[in-house]
C-alpha cells in the first residue's frame, strides 16, 4: 500500500513562518522521510484554489486562463523535485467554480496540465473534495460535470487514475451518493476517515467503500485511494487525546486499509503550526516532528 500526505496549507504555513520549500525539503531529507504520494492543493482548501491567483487563491479569484508565477503550485513542484525519495502527485480538482460557471473548465484543468508538464505525470486526479457535502442535492449536475472532466483528464494525463469522493452508505444521503459515484467511468474512490473510537472502524471503512442494498453491503469495484485520514480531534478530546492514543488509532486505521487491500492512504496533513492538531510535522521557527 502506498503512503503519503495531504499538503493542505503546507506552503502558506511555510512562507508565513519565514521559511521556504527548499528548507523544508532539506529537513525531510535529513529525517529520511520517504513519501509515496502527495496531494495538492489540499482538501477544503481546493474549493477556492485558482492557478491564476497568487498563493492558493481566495474568494476574489477571477479564474482566468493563465498560470500565475506566484502560485503555490510552483513551490509544490520545486518541493517534490527536491525530495530524495520523489513522490507522485494526487491532484484534487476545484469543481466548485464549475457549478457556478462551466466556462471556467479550462482554468479548472490548467493546474493538471502544469503538473504533467513539469513533473511528467500525476498519479491520480480527484473529482473534487468531499463533494457529497455540497452537491448531494444536485447529483445530476455533478455527474454531468464529472463526465466532461473525465474526458479531458484522459487526454491530459492518460496514465492517471481518476477518483471520486465517497460518503458513508449507512445514511440515505451517503448511500445515494455512492450509487451515483458507482456509475461514473472512474478508476478509484477517495474516502476520508477520521476516527476516535475503534468500535467505529469497521463501520467507517466498510460504509465508505460500499453501497447498501436491503441491508447488505456491496463493495464498490474500484481502487481505494484514501486522501485524508487521522485521529478525529474534537473540542472535548483535544487535550485528553494523548500521543499514544492517537498513534494507536492511526496505526489501526492503516492496518485496516492494508487488510482491505487499499491502494493508498494519505495522512492529514504534512505540515501545520503547532497550535493546530492535524499534521505529522510542525513549524514555528524551526521544523519538528509533532
CATH number at residue 140: 3.20.20.80
State the CB neighbour count (10 A cutoff) for residue 200.
14
In the prediction, which pLDDT does 230 show?
A: 97
Half-sphere exposure of 51 (CA within 13 A, CB side): 23
In the prediction, which pLDDT does 276 show?
A: 82
Residue 47, domain extent: 2-289
| 214 CB-near residues (< 8 Å, 6+ apart) | none
Query: Splitting the chain (290 residues) into consecutive groups of 10 residues, what average pLDDT does each group show?
Result: 97 96 98 98 96 94 96 98 98 96 97 98 98 96 98 98 98 98 98 96 98 96 98 74 90 98 98 89 89
Torsion of CA 274, 266, 111, 62, to 10 degrees: -50
In the prediction, which pLDDT does 290 show?
A: 86
Total number of domains in the chain: 1
In the prediction, which pLDDT does 284 show?
A: 82
In the prediction, which pLDDT does 238 show?
A: 63
| Antiparallel, parallel or unpaired: β 264-268 and 223-231 | parallel
Nine cell digits for residue 126: 480527484
* Ramachandran bin of 246, using left for φ above 0, alpha for ψ from -120 to 50, beta for the remaining angles: alpha
In the prediction, which pLDDT does 241 show?
A: 75
In the prediction, which pLDDT does 239 show?
A: 60
Amino acid at each position: 500500500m502506498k503512503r503519503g500526505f495531504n499538503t493542505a496549507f503546507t506552503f502558506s504555513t511555510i512562507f508565513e513562518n519565514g521559511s521556504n520549500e527548499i528548507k523544508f525539503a532539506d529537513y525531510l531529507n535529513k529525517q529520511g522521510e520517504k513519501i509515496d504520494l502527495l496531494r495538492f492543493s489540499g482538501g477544503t482548501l481546493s474549493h477556492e484554489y485558482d492557478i491564476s491567483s497568487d498563493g492558493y487563491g481566495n474568494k476574489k479569484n477571477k479564474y482566468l486562463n493563465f498560470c500565475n508565477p506566484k502560485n503555490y503550485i510552483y513551490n509544490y513542484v520545486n518541493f517534490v523535485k527536491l525530495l530524495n525519495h520523489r513522490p507522485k502527485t494526487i491532484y484534487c480538482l476545484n469543481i466548485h467554480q464549475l457549478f457556478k460557471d462551466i466556462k471556467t473548465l479550462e482554468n479548472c484543468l490548467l493546474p493538471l496540465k502544469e503538473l504533467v508538464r513539469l513533473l511528467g505525470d500525476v498519479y491520480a486526479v480527484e473529482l473534487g473534495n468531499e463533494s457529497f457535502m455540497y452537491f448531494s442535492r444536485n447529483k445530476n449536475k455533478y455527474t454531468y460535470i464529472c463526465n466532461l472532466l473525465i474526458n479531458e483528464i484522459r487526454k491530459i494525463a492518460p496514465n492517471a487514475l481518476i477518483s471520486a469522493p465517497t460518503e458513508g452508505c449507512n445514511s440515505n444521503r451517503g448511500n445515494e451518493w455512492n450509487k451515483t459515484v458507482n456509475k461514473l467511468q472512474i478508476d478509484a474512490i477517495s474516502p476520508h476517515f477520521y476516527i476516535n473510537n475503534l468500535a467505529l472502524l469497521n463501520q467507517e471503512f466498510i460504509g465508505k467503500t460500499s453501497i447498501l442494498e436491503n441491508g447488505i453491503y456491496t463493495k464498490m469495484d474500484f481502487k481505494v485511494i484514501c486522501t485524508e485520514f487521522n485521529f478525529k480531534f474534537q473540542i472535548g478530546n483535544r487535550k485528553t487525546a494523548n500521543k499514544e492514543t492517537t498513534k494507536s488509532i492511526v496505526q489501526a486505521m492503516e492496518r485496516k486499509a492494508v487488510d482491505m487491500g487499499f491502494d493508498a492512504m494519505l495522512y492529514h496533513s504534512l505540515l501545520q503550526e503547532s497550535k493546530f492538531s492535524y499534521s505529522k510535522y510542525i513549524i514555528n521557527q524551526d521544523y519538528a516532528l509533532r
